[in-house]
């Protein structure tokens, strides 16, 4: 992996922003994006394919290292579509298992989170160690030839990067670090391990998860949907985007010069993440981690916005703000103010999504024409189809065209 300094990276992005401002058409050679069939948002079979081929076979954010403070601390996680259990072992290693007792399948842990010395199934008290091994079977004499060494909890991949904990049900998946690719390097100056959660919000939205995700992948909409909020801050015409392997992407949208000045003159009570290039104050660098995590970064911290499908037309949106630990009550209040300021922006986005789902379901819109500024949406859909494989019906497929435009260089950015 090449190691470059933040300034080199930031200068490259600045040059890209200048290019975006100056162009009067998409860059030479960039294709008109093929139409996206709207059945992708409504078809129950397509959704079932996503559940089995995508959500059960991809890395999903399941928490933070500090959510598992010491040995025995556990949490359940069911967003991939299976009941999972994450628990820190006596050796301090964080592991994930199916929350499925190897006797008759009762959940081993029923609470959403807690701490335990052993994991004891509440049905018949089979008892497992924190490493998943089966330690005790009541009335063992009545089981005949039961091989308890083969009745450990079924393991699930669990890996962490810089404080972020991910799980993946696919045993054959690439390592988390490989899958993150250039995003891991670009996040390294944010020093995730030193960040803390400052509050979580949740909202159930009556729309397919991709209608929701698409809405966070472009800034083409900010003038109309966010005229008094985001639009006062960001100039979408300079948005510089990067498409990465595995469906991840980046979008760095410059702030209006007046907005940068305004922010400088209104000092925040919140400490900045140390060592960030000034680009982080001049722009809004946003990342999308495939399939369902979007984060618009800022110098004091940022939300991780997650989209979890509930059914084909329902999505749970969950966003948590992270930043350096609050050390004073003024900083605590500062975080609450920041969260409260973000709520109406999210509501502006949400107000649109249910009606869009109704529209695509009505049959009134057969396909979606995406423009150059919306290419991160097309990139997401291309990766979805790569995951789903050849079973996607032809009428619902998107034609892959963006790979020649990927950024593949993996640079470790020194902060």
Q: Which residues bind ligand FES (CB under 6 A)?
A: 101, 103-104, 106, 121, 123-126
To Fe ion, the closest distance from the beta carbon of 18 in angstroms equals 24
Which one of 51-59, 161-169, 192-200, 349-357 is the stretch in contact with Fe ion (CB under 5 A)?
Answer: 349-357
The nearest distance, CB 86 to ligand FES, in angstroms, is 19
* Angstrom distance (rounded) from CA 311 to CA 205: 11
Rounded CA-CA distance 330/346 in Å is 25
218 binds Fe ion (CB under 5 A): no
Instruction: Say if residue 41 is exposed, middle or buried (CB neighbours under 10 Å; 0-12, 13-18, 19+).
Output: buried
DSSP 189: G
| Phi-psi sector, 72: left (phi>0), alpha (psi -120 to 50), beta | left
Residue number, 251 or 396, with CB nearest to Fe ion: 251
Residue 103: which of Fe ion, ligand FES, none does it interact with, CB under 5 to 8 A by kind? Answer: ligand FES
Q: Cα(324)–Cα(270) distance, rounded to whole angstroms?
A: 9
Our finding on whether 349 is near Fe ion (CB under 5 A) is yes
Give the C-alpha separation, 320 to 199, whole Å.
6
Residue closer to ligand FES, measured from CB, 128 or 322 = 128
Determine the interface stretch with Fe ion among 27-35, 70-78, 164-172, 341-349 (rule: CB under 5 A): 341-349
Sheet holding 127-128, edge to edge: 119-120, 127-128, 134-136
If you count DSSP H runs as helices and E runs as strands, how many of each does the chain have, helices first? 11, 21
Q: Which does 126 bind (CB under 5 to 8 A by kind): Fe ion, ligand FES, none?
A: ligand FES
Residue 19 interacts with which of Fe ion, ligand FES, none, CB < 5 to 8 Å by class: none
Residues facing 318 on adjacent strands:
202, 306
**Dist CA 334 CA 205 (whole Å):** 28
Distance CA 304, CA 318 (A): 8
| Contact partner at residue 123 from Fe ion, ligand FES, none, CB < 5 to 8 Å by partner kind | ligand FES
Nearer to Fe ion, 274 or 355 (CB): 355
Q: Which residue is nearest to Fe ion (CB)?
A: 349
Shortest distance in whole angstroms from residue 117 CB to ligand FES: 17
How near is the Cβ of 96 to ligand FES at its closest, in Å?
19
d(CA 242, CA 288): 10
Residue 113, helix vs strand vs coil: strand
By C-beta, is 219 or 246 nearer to Fe ion?
219
Shortest reach from residue 225's CB to Fe ion, in Å: 5
Neighbours of 353 (CB within 10 A): 19
Answer with the entry of Fe ion, ligand FES, none that 349 interacts with (C-beta below 5 to 8 A by kind). Answer: Fe ion
Looking at the Cβ atoms of 101 and 217, the one nearer to ligand FES is: 101
CB 87 to ligand FES: min, Å: 16
Compute the C-alpha angle 264/283/263, nearest 5°.
15
Residues that bind Fe ion (CB under 5 A): 349
């Amino acid at each position: 992996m090449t190691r470059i300094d933040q300034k080199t990276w930031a200068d490259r992005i600045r040059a890209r922003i200048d290019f975006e401002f100056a162009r009067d058409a998409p860059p030479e050679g960039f294709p008109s994006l093929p139409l996206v069939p709207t059945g992708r948002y409504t078809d129950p079979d397509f959704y079932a394919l996503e559940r089995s081929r995508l959500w059960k076979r991809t890395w999903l954010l399941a928490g933070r290292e500090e959510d598992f403070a010491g040995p025995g601390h556990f949490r359940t996680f069911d967003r991939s579509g299976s009941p999972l259990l994450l628990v820190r072992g006596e050796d301090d290693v964080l592991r994930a298992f199916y929350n499925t007792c190897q006797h008759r399948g009762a959940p081993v842990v029923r609470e959403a989170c807690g701490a335990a010395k052993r994991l004891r199934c509440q049905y018949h008290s089979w008892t497992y160690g924190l490493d998943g091994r089966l330690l005790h079977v009541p009335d063992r004499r009545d089981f005949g030839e039961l091989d308890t060494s083969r009745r450990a909890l079924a393991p699930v991949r669990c890996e962490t990067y810089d404080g972020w904990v991910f799980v993946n049900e696919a045993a054959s998946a690439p390592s988390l670090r490989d899958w993150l690719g250039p995003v891991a390097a670009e996040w390294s100056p944010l020093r995730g391990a030193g960040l803390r959660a400052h509050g979580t919000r949740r909202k159930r939205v009556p729309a397919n998860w991709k209608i929701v995700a698409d809405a966070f992948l472009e800034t083409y909409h900010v003038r109309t949907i966010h005229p008094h909020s985001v639009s006062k801050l960001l100039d979408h015409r300079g948005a510089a985007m990067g498409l990465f392997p595995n469906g991840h992407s980046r979008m760095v949208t410059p702030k209006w010069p007046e907005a940068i000045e305004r922010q400088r003159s209104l000092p925040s009570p919140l400490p900045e993440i140390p060592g960030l290039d000034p680009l982080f104050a001049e722009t809004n660098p946003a990342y999308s981690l495939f399939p369902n995590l979007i984060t618009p970064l800022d110098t004091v911290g940022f939300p991780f916005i997650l989209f979890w499908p509930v059914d084909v037309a329902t999505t749970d949106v969950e966003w948590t703000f992270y930043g350096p630990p609050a050390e004073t009550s003024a900083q605590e209040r500062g975080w609450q103010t920041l969260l409260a300021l973000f709520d109406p922006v999210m509501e502006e986005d949400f107000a649109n999504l249910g009606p869009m789902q109704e529209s695509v379901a009505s049959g009134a819109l057969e396909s979606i024409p995406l423009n150059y500024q919306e290419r991160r949406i097309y990139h997401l859909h291309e990766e979805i189809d790569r995951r789903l494989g050849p079973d996607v019906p032809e009428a619902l497929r998107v034609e892959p065209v963006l790979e020649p435009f990927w950024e593949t260089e993996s640079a470790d950015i020194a902060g």
